[in-house]
Amino acid sequence: MTLLKFAPFRNLETLDNEIKKFFVDFPEATAGENEIIYQPRIDISEDEKNIHIEAELPGVKKEDVKLTLEKNILSIDGEKKNITVGEKKYFRNERIFGKFNRKFTIPTDISIKSVSAEFADGILNINIEKKIEKPAQERTIEIK
């Protein structure tokens, strides 16, 4: 005879995991006044010389995105416009349209003049060059 451990809340853990998966599958979206505001997915990485930011902006035109860097705050603002021709009767509508805004604090040791951005295939790539400190020159100090 096999004994089973009594775990009355086991099914609730499974339900909790399913609910979490549901919210992870969809981009964060909140309803604003007369519009949907969402946050596109962003990846930030760095190497020795640069900070790299990649933003997924499918269906967004380059002209509808604005980048600003003020002090050490990088802002990505834009709008994903819903372009529909005629009246459509949707059976399923999962796409999100509306304005978006993302802000990131960037380390202050960057070169503001060297920030560059490219937009291709729905991906916004931002490259921020770090300031390169001059290495200290070696000096022998005479002991008196």
Which tokens in the block code for residue 40? 């596109």
- The confidence score (pLDDT) of residue 83 equals 72
Over residues 61-114, the pLDDT tens digits come to 999 999 998 888 899 999 988 777 677 777 887 777 888 999 999 887 887 888
More confident residue, 27 or 2: 2
CB 69 within 8 A of CB 106: yes
Is residue 25 scored above 60 in pLDDT? Answer: no
Q: What SS3 state is found at 37?
A: strand
Candidates 3.30.56.10, 2.60.40.790, 3.40.630.30, 3.30.360.10; correct CATH number of 30-129? Answer: 2.60.40.790
Place of tokens 């005879």: 1
For 34-41, what is the mean pLDDT? 70
Over residues 126-139, the pLDDT tens digits come to 999 988 766 667 76
Count, residues in the chain: 144
Phi (first) and psi of residue 110, to 5 degrees: -120, 160
CB 16 within 8 A of CB 96: no
Which sequence spans correspond to the domains of the chain? 30-129
